């Protein structure tokens, strides 16, 4: 066979099938192999909303998209180049999003009468008989071929069919010049105690690869290594990177890490990851509910630890009273909200920037807190480190916003050196003076930060609780003027956090451009691609991305007011835009999407071009 080889700068593949088809495993293995091959990449898993979603239905389709290439990859891709459809429902849900000229790899066994009916096709409908002319199809009876490859193994039909995903993965490895060995190593380690299962998975992967070798006139694709900055890399999801950032902050602050959490999608993996790092002194506690989790963390903070809790929107609502207590005590605490679609249970496995206003305003009383937002899976590391630094050095709770897109998505992350992570210096109280001067726990430094007195320090005993404190002494006070003074002091302390920020920098463009696109959170990549395309075409568009949402940077108002037009894309009905209009009196325009799916760069580019044309 003489196959053609075509070199491509990048490729986007979307894997889709039932939850039981091993879609996430196939996608993650393709991702790990691609990372080892030296490509830049970004991924986006898309899970069904129900734990046991109806098999064979569109609602039960599990997806995994990877965008990889030899050039800089900013997003998991928009419209995919390749669709892997394990059944009719996966085909129906995703075929409309495929690029013209794209490739479809499908298992014909998933298109029988039963699967067609479950997918919502009529009795006479046959999608394979009416295939779009602009797509290239590989119709493979994966189920049959895989069973034949495993025919002599002591496995039932159900057990044999579980490795169909590896047959397809082997075929894709052949198509895109990916090595088999990383996946073979993974399978050996996973199933070494089950020799028959290990043999079955190994055969399935190789059978798919060999099948590709039998197809006549097959076009194969090569994607060269990306030119990444030198360093040591690993592939990380946002939840893993965030966990590592917290551990790094623990080491650089000299405070042991205590994490308390209650399982909730999509934040649970933070607990799972941190529990693996007891060698760094990390302590993890799975609480009985969200309230117990935050109050346990507050107790750990009172005891001198770097205290962290994480949740998603519904759990954040339950943590609110505890968050107010931590604010009143002025204790360091990092609260992570991995956002998802709401309200209520909402869309637990779908991404949304739904909780910014909750983070800014969702507490009783006057209770401002620092709010930060991570912008990519790898950036979750640095943002977690920064959130911990602010909490520890300014003696305040901090809210860190991530979301399902960042938590489950992955990209290459370069290990930072120790020199790149500045020491964190909590304001620990010294031992009591010898002259027996009464300790004043709410006496403040020039940043309005109080000292962190730990239990057991003689002479530093002090009162804590949710009742209002007297200025400096910390005694309970109901005095009206004292209450107003303390409210303003706490707010001013939070405002002074902004003094630590570096100067605000545009991601792309300059102050001379006509349109500024402002984003926060995971919209960074899609906005970056859209702005880059427009600038290449000569359009005067700039990009700004906010990590520190509150307090805002001191130079932010002047920067915003220098642009005639501002566009704010958000996966909500407009939350950051209200803050910008209210605080800085700018006439910003929103681009809002509430579908549980991230922005495409095309959507942002189209809206920006409309604004420029109306100028």
Q: Architecture of domain 515-613 in CATH?
A: 3-Layer(aba) Sandwich (3.40)
| CB distance 571 to 524 below 8 Å | no
- Rounded distance between C-alpha atoms, residue 168 and residue 414, angstroms: 31
How is the chain split into domains, by residue range? 4-222, 233-420, 515-613
Cβ-based neighbours of 175, under 8 Å, separated by 6 or more: 212, 218, 220, 221
- Rounded distance between C-alpha atoms, residue 82 and residue 88, angstroms: 16
- Rounded distance between C-alpha atoms, residue 243 and residue 259, angstroms: 10
- Axis-axis angle for helices 379-394, 238-253 (nearest 10): 40
pLDDT of res. 1: 46
Are 4-222 and 233-420 the same fold in CATH?
Answer: no
- The CB-side HSE value for 555 (13 A sphere, CA atoms) comes to 10
Considering the domain 233-420 in this protein, what is its CATH number?
A: 3.40.50.970
Residue 166's nearest CA partner among 358, 17, 306 is 17
pTM: 0.94
- How confident is the model over 275-289, as pLDDT tens digits? 999 999 999 999 999
- How confident is the model over 46-78, as pLDDT tens digits? 988 776 778 889 999 999 999 999 999 999 999
pLDDT of res. 176: 95
Phi, psi of 362 (to 5 degrees): -80, 50
- Rounded distance between C-alpha atoms, residue 127 and residue 136, angstroms: 14
Question: How is residue 450 written in tokens?
Answer: 């109080």
| E-only strand ranges, 117-176 | 136-140
For the chain, which residues score pLDDT lower than 50? 1-2
Rg (CA), the chain: 27
For 368-433, give the DSSP string.
---EEE--STTHHHHHHHHHHHHHHHHTSEEEEEEEHHHHH-EEEEEPPPGGGS------BPPPPP
Residue 598's nearest CA partner among 13, 219, 17, 45 is 45
| CB distance 267 to 310 below 8 Å | yes
Domain 4-222 has CATH 3.40.50.300: no
């Amino acid at each position: 066979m003489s196959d053609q080889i075509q070199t491509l700068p990048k490729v986007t593949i979307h894997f889709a099938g039932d939850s039981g088809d091993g879609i996430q495993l196939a996608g993650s293995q393709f991702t790990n192999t691609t990372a080892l091959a030296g490509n830049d990449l970004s991924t986006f898993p898309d899970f069904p909303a129900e734990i046991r979603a109806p098999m064979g239905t569109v609602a039960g389709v599990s997806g995994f998209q990877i965008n990889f290439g030899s050039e800089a990859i900013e997003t998991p891709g928009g419209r995919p180049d390749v669709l892997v459809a394990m059944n009719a429902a996966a085909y129906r849900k995703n075929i409309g999003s495929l690029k013209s000229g794209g490739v479809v790899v499908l298992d014909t066994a998933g298109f029988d009468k039963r699967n067609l009916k479950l997918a919502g096709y009529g009795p006479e409908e046959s999608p394979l008989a009416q295939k779009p002319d602009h797509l290239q199809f590989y119709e493979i009876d994966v189920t049959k071929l895989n069973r034949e490859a495993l025919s002599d193994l002591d496995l039932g039909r159900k057990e044999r069919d579980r490795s169909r995903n590896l047959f397809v993965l082997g075929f894709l490895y052949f198509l895109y010049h990916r090595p088999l060995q990383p996946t073979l190593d993974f399978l050996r380690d996973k199933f070494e105690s089950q020799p028959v299962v290990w043999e079955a998975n190994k055969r399935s992967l190789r059978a798919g690869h060999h099948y590709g070798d039998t197809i006549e006139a097959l076009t194969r694709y090569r994607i060269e290594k990306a030119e990444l900055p030198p360093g040591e890399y690993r592939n990380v999801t946002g939840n893993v990177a965030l966990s590592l950032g917290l551990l790094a902050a623990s080491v650089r602050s000299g405070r042991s890490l205590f994490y308390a959490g209650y399982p909730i999608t999509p934040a649970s993996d933070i607990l799972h990851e941190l529990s693996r790092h007891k060698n760094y002194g990390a302590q993890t506690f799975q609480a009985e509910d969200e309230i117990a989790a935050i109050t346990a963390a507050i107790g750990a903070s009172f005891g001198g630890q770097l205290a962290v809790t994480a949740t998603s929107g519904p759990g954040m609502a339950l943590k609110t009273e505890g968050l107010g207590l931590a604010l009143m005590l002025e204790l360091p605490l990092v609260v992570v909200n991995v956002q998802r679609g709401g309200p209520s249970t909402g869309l637990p496995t779908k991404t949304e920037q739904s909780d910014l206003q909750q983070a800014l305003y969702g507490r009783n009383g006057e209770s401002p807190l620092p709010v930060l937002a991570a912008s990519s899976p790898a950036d979750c590391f640095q943002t977690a480190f920064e959130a911990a630094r602010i909490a520890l050095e300014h003696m305040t709770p901090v809210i860190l916003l991530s979301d399902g897109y960042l938590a489950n998505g992955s990209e290459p992350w370069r290990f930072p050196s120790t020199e790149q992570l500045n020491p964190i210096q909590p304001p620990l109280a010294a031992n009591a003076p010898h002259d027996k001067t009464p300790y004043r726990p709410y006496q403040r430094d020039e940043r309005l930060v109080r000292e962190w007195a730990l239990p057991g320090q003689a002479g530093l005993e002090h009162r804590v609780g949710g009742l209002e404190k007297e200025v400096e002494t910390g005694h309970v006070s109901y005095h009206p003027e004292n209450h107003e003074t303390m409210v303003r002091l706490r707010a001013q302390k939070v405002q002074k956090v902004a003094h630590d920020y570096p100067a605000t920098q545009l991601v792309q463009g300059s102050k001379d451009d006509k349109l500024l696109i402002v984003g926060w959170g995971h919209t960074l990549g899609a906005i970056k691609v859209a702005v880059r395309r427009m600038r290449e075409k000569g359009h005067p568009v700039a990009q700004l991305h906010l990590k520190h949402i509150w307090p805002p940077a001191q130079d932010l108002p002047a920067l915003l007011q220098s642009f005639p037009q501002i566009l704010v894309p958000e996966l909500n009905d407009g939350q950051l835009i209200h803050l910008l209009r209210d605080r800085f009196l700018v006439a910003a325009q929103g681009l809002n999407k509430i579908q549980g799916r991230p922005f495409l760069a095309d959507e942002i580019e189209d809206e920006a071009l409309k604004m420029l044309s109306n100028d």
